[in-house]
Amino acid sequence: MRAVFLVNPASGNGSTGKKWPKLAARAAELGLPGEVLFSERPGHLTELARSAAAPDTLLVAVGGDGTLNEVVNGIVGTGTTLAVLPNGTGQDFGRTYGIPQKFDDAVAVALNGTARTVDVGKVTFTATDGSRQVRHFASMGSVGMSGAVADRANGMSKALGGKATFYYALTRVFLAWKNGDVTTRFEGGERTGLMNNVVVANGRYAGGGMMLAPNAVPDDGLFDIVFFGDVSKLDFITTSPKLYGGGHLKHKKVDVVRSPWIEVESTRPLPIELEGEPSGTTPVRFEIVPAALNVRVPA
């Protein structure tokens, strides 16, 4: 199978571009040579992935979750196989599938791993210019405070790593955040009222290791939708450390439903994020696209 590396040199706080010559040489030494395509601007990897997509091609995404999201938007439904060499800040996609963070081990999975066919999320939302746009995501998206957290985290240096960066951004944003008046509709029901966040999960992790949806299954045709209600500062202090182990689900203001779609409206525009990337505002519709992505995962 022909291999094409899709490299985001800005990922990993700029470390990917600096290390790539040595990483490429090591990958070839391990048996994984290939053509290399570099991202030059936001959105460029989607274009590159779309042009390289083919059923007989292994696309190897080199970077973090933002890199992965751009690549996924270029190959959904094409039958192309995706492998991941993690070298970003969050690494949340890889956590769901057990993809190693050590380079040599990740190359071994790209070469010899099992191809798993999984669902993706399709999102129709309001862009900053007021138009309606459509994007896809592989792991997780959300509406509410986490959109503001993603925006703040992406404006910071990530030299301390994903966990520290996202938790610091979470804390700073929460102190000033006002929960939104939200109306949601999903298969079999609805939720309304003041909410802090609506997390729509196909994978389990976000924010550099927060296990927001510990029971999500990426190939069952359903989202795990986690509602964070009108949480207070005291709720945040007592519960935010539990986000990394899934303990937040026991909180009385947190609720989970499963559905193949959800629509979210709000009295004021609320930010959305997709795999850690700020993407637009409400109103927004999320829907599952079944079996739309082939991923190399550990055997």
pLDDT in tens, the chain (299 residues): 899 999 999 887 788 999 999 999 999 999 999 999 999 999 999 999 999 999 999 999 999 898 999 999 999 999 999 999 998 777 889 999 999 999 999 999 999 999 999 999 999 999 988 899 999 999 999 999 887 887 777 665 665 566 677 677 788 888 788 999 999 999 999 999 999 999 999 999 988 888 999 999 999 999 999 999 999 988 888 888 899 999 999 999 999 999 999 999 999 999 999 998 888 999 999 999 999 999 999 98
Query: Is-catalytic flag, 277?
Result: yes
The C-alpha atoms of residue 93 and residue 232 are separated, in whole angstroms, by 29
Give 224's strand partners: 201, 258
| pTM metric for this prediction | 0.91
Pairing of strands 223-228, 197-201: antiparallel
b (16+ CB within 10 A) / e for 106-138: bbbbbbebeeeebbbbbbebbeeeeeeeebbbb
The DSSP secondary-structure symbol of 113 reads P
Domains and CATH numbers, the chain: 2-112 (3.40.50.10330), 120-290 (2.60.200.40)
Q: Which of 273, 275, 277, 287 is catalytic?
A: 277
Q: Is 107 helix (H, G, I), strand (E, B) or coil?
A: helix
- Residue 207 half-sphere exposure, CB side, CA atoms within 13 Å? 29
The answer to whether residues 90 and 274 touch, using CB atoms and an 8 Å cutoff, is no
The answer to whether residues 58 and 1 touch, using CB atoms and an 8 Å cutoff, is yes
Q: Which two tokens stand for residue 261?
A: 């779609």
